[in-house]
Structure 1
Amino acid sequence: MTANTTKITPHFTIGELIASSTATRLHLANIPTPEALRRLLGTAEMLERVRSTLDAPVIITSGYRGPALNRAVGGVTSSDHMSGQAADIIAPRFGTPYQIAKTLAPLVSVLGIGQLILEGVKGKQWVHVSTRIPEKPSNRVITITDAGAQLGIQVLS
């Protein structure tokens, strides 16, 4: 068993948290720093609470991103993905990203979610969860679409 397949929590591996098809395609190493690795454990623990709340498997579509990968995917330079504090998720057995976000929004503090973002951009939808609480409390639960950011969880068209 390699380190990437070893479970760091009951349902998540480090491999799931660092996997990236973009990194593979572009031959980018996506190896977390020791500090990011420590934070990834906290992110995985938060994801366990999310999984338990949803009572459904959670699929990580984007976890840790090193600087080169973050640039390649067009991530912001302040992205919590770069510090190991964020994951983009879906849970098809539970429901749509909108349904996931609506369920999690009132529970962010209980679940240890610092920021919850329902994202619907370029025809794709997912939920971004981070362990870091943003400086502005109003940015804690938001929706981001091609049209911009809105407070709270909004219906995606």
Structure 2
Amino acid sequence: MNLTEHFTLDEFTRSTTADRLKIDNSVPTDLMPNVQLTAIKLEFVRQALGKPINITSGYRCPALNARVGGVSTSAHTKGLAVDFNSSYGTPKEICQRLIDAGVQFDKLIQEHNQWVHIGFNPNNNRQIVLTAVKQGGKTIYKNGLL
């Protein structure tokens, strides 16, 4: 099912972990408006980058989110966040481009210089920018791009 010109529902729900563990990662009907909103916002991300983006993690049902180590309050479980990569550049370059282009988001995280997390809020995008780093074997989040 197409959500927008460039994004499908399958991209938002695809998960090798869910497949392997036989977890049903279907989006509940009441969360479909959030997924639709996220897809629309991702069109702005794609436009700002001038390149396609590859969603590596979109919607996560609570069971899947727990299995991948996500926090229970994760925007992924509400259909309001995705992790992605793009041939545009490194995660830091992608984040900087989105900031410079004025893309509206709730949270933008450069995750360990491996991928980008972007989350949206239907009511109030706070423009929070963070960098995830390992410290003492644990992930911590520092303000800004490092």
Q: Where does the alignment leave 5 or more consecutive residues of structure 1 unmatched?
A: 1-5
Question: What residue in structure 2 maps to residue 78 of structure 1?
Answer: 73
Match of 1:96 among 79, 90, 96: 90
Q: Which structure shows the higher helix fraction?
A: 1
Which amino acid letter does the alignment assign opposite residue 118 of structure 1?
Answer: Q
TM-score normalised by structure 2 residue count? 0.90
SS of the residue corresponding to residue 105 of structure 1 reads helix
Deviations 1:27-54 (A, max 9, x none): 1000111222110000001110000000
Question: What residue in structure 2 maps to residue 34 of structure 1?
Answer: 29
Sequence identity (%): 38
Aligned alpha-carbon RMSD (Å): 2.1
Q: Where does the alignment leave 5 or more consecutive residues of structure 2 unmatched?
A: none
SS of the residue corresponding to residue 111 of structure 2 reads strand
Which amino acid letter does the alignment assign opposite residue 143 of structure 1?
Answer: T
Which consecutive segments of 4 or more residues in structure 1 shift more than 2 A?
none
SS of the residue corresponding to residue 41 of structure 2 reads helix
1:142–1:149 Cα contact (<8 Å) kept:
yes
Aligned length: 142
Question: What residue in structure 2 maps to residue 130 of structure 1?
Answer: 119
TM-score normalised by structure 1 residue count? 0.84
CA distance in 2, matches of 1:27, 1:86: 22
Cα drift, residue 104 of structure 1: 1.2
Match of 1:60 among 52, 55, 60: 55
**1:140 aligned onto 2:128:** yes
SS of the residue corresponding to residue 100 of structure 1 reads helix
